[in-house]
């Protein structure tokens, strides 16, 4: 069995999907994000999907992708890559986020792009954004 496959099977033979979920009051489980995409800011877990949802609710934002960047003070910081309709400023985007998110979840950097990297099926590829930051 390949090493990545071995890591995905627990000692009790359960398959680890890498998904992060929460149990709802009614007993259902809601998948909130992927473990590998989680950002840890000053010890707090930040789920990119939550921030992306807030960003895409902004009237001028078309698409958004959020990744973590290394930060000397907090371990990681939130960085948002967005496509917008017309002109928009990072100050306005951050202000909007401050109204809808806890302070540590507000992006510390906003990058405006013409388009976000996507797979052949249209899924945004956060790993490519992380690779750009690493280079």
The answer, yes or no, to whether residue 1 has pLDDT greater than 60, is: no
CA-based torsion, 36, 72, 49, 126: positive or negative: negative
- Helix, strand, coil percent values for the chain (each to nearest 5): 30, 35, 35
CA pair distance 46, 24, nearest whole angstrom: 19
Using DSSP's 3-state secondary structure scheme, residue 19 falls into strand
Looking at every residue in the chain, the average pLDDT score rounds to: 88
Task: For the chain, list the domains and their CATH numbers.
Answer: 36-134 (3.30.300.30)
CB atoms within 10 A of CB 116: 17
Task: Assign residue 75 a region (left: φ > 0; alpha: ψ between -120 and 50; beta: otherwise).
Answer: left
Answer yes or no: is pLDDT of 59 > 90. Answer: yes
Q: Supply the pLDDT for residue 95.
A: 96
Flag whether pLDDT at 33 surpasses 70.
no
Beta bridge partners of 39: 46
pLDDT tens sequence across 79-104 = 999 999 988 889 999 999 999 999 99
Predicted model pTM: 0.80
């Amino acid at each position: 069995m390949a090493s990545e496959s071995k890591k995905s099977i627990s000692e009790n033979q359960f398959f680890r999907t890498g998904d992060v979920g929460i149990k709802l009051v009614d007993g259902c489980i809601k998948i909130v994000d992927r473990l590998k995409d989680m950002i840890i800011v000053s010890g707090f877990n930040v789920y990119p999907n939550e921030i992306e949802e807030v960003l895409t609710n902004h009237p001028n934002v078309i698409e958004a992708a959020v990744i973590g960047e290394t930060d000397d003070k907090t371990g990681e910081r939130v960085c948002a890559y967005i496509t917008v309709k017309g002109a928009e400023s990072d100050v306005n985007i951050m202000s909007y986020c401050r109204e809808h998110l806890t302070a540590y979840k507000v992006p510390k950097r906003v990058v405006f792009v013409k388009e976000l990297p996507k797979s052949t099926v249209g899924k945004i590829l956060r790993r490519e954004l992380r690779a750009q930051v690493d280079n």
